[in-house]
Structure 1
Amino acid sequence: MKTNLIVVLFLTSMSVFAAEPDYAQKIQIDADNLVSIAENVATYRSNVLITQGSMQMKADQLEINASAGKGKEVYVATGTPVRYSQLLADGKPVTASAAEMRYEPSSRTLTLTGDAELTQSGSVVKASVIRYNVEKQQLSAESNETKRVTTIFTPEEKTNP
């Protein structure tokens, strides 16, 4: 009985030390300039870096709209291009770039617009618009009249015994 209690306590304490998923961690913003805070909108410019756990977004400008209330903020980053990166739980990276990225933490959705490109596990998706759920690691892509959705799959390398 005593051994079972120790094992239960050990397993319980291990879950306390397990890393929180990126989307559950605080969001930090670093920039050269905080241009304005007016009517629940904050604007940052020049060398903007948004960090949440292993997720990073680099942009020229960031607007945070908090008019919908706490926990429902919308982050809109613009740049030439905006760059995104994240390490997944298995240690593999996800990277993305686009002219604009819109991040909605409440739905855990990242929307890439304008020459959008997302790379995950060696495969690449290019489209006019890409929507990526950072929690579920699911994406959808849309084209416009001038650009089609392109997906490039990279096969796994075989290892010879």
Structure 2
Amino acid sequence: MKITKVLALLLCTAALASQAAQDDYKKEIQVGSDRQFGSLKDKVMTFVDNVKVQQGSLLIEADKLEVIATEGKGKEVFIASGNPAHYSQEFEQGKKIIAKAKEIKYDVGAALLILIGEAELSQAGSMVQGSVIRYNLVKQELAAEADGKKSERVTTVFTPEGKQDQ
């Protein structure tokens, strides 16, 4: 019975989140930093220090960001790095997803977030940790993996109903 409640809660959260995410992805992406440089010819830009990427409620904060636009408009790949880099996005009814990792790769065209290195993703009071976490922002699908060492495993923490902080 408890597993059914958890599954129902996750599916409801995903349905709500999907609508908010769709609205965010229709908005322009803004990048700010203290310094930037790159090659317009090669369609690669680098942003350094106090980097912020915003697309609607989607926010990525990092020490460094590389934007690769070789595939064309709307298919850019953003690679943010930091100690750690942070991602957050607000969804309907105050629900929020928060993530952090040494590297955050945001593939705009695929609406895919890849967290690499000490990765952690939290939503609706539950949290997943691993070496690599892949998260489809539109479908709300997640896959996590450890780095292959016996001492490390993927960890998921489910917060009991009524104790959610988000």
TM over 0.5, yes or no? yes
Greater fraction helix: 2
Q: Which residue of 2 aligns with 1:24?
A: 26
Determine if the alignment matches structure 1 residue 105 to structure 2 residue 141: no
1:65 to 65, 68, 81: 68
| Aligned 8 A contact 1:23 1:134 in 2 | no
3-state SS, counterpart of residue 22 of structure 1: helix
| Aligned 8 A contact 1:23 1:135 in 2 | no
For structure 2, which runs of at least 5 residues remain unmatched after alignment? 1-18
Q: Distance in 2 between matches of 1:113 and 1:120?
A: 18
Task: Return the structure number with greater relative CO, CA threshold 8 A, min gap 6.
Answer: 2
Matches within 5 A, 1:30-45: 30-38=32-40, 39-45=42-48
Q: Distance in 2 between matches of 1:80 and 1:131?
A: 19
Determine if the alignment matches structure 1 residue 148 to structure 2 residue 150: no
Determine if the alignment matches structure 1 residue 127 to structure 2 residue 134: no
Number of equivalent positions: 141
1:157 to 141, 162, 165: 162
The answer to which of 118-127 and 144-153 deviates more is 144-153
Compute the displacement of 1:115 (Å): 0.2
3-state SS, counterpart of residue 48 of structure 1: strand
Q: Distance in 2 between matches of 1:111 and 1:21?
A: 21
The answer to which of 66-75 and 98-107 deviates more is 66-75
- After TM superposition, the score normalised by the length of structure 2 is 0.80
Of all paired residues, the percent bearing the same amino acid is 47
Compute the displacement of 1:118 (Å): 0.3
Q: Segments of 4+ in structure 1 off by > 4 A?
A: none
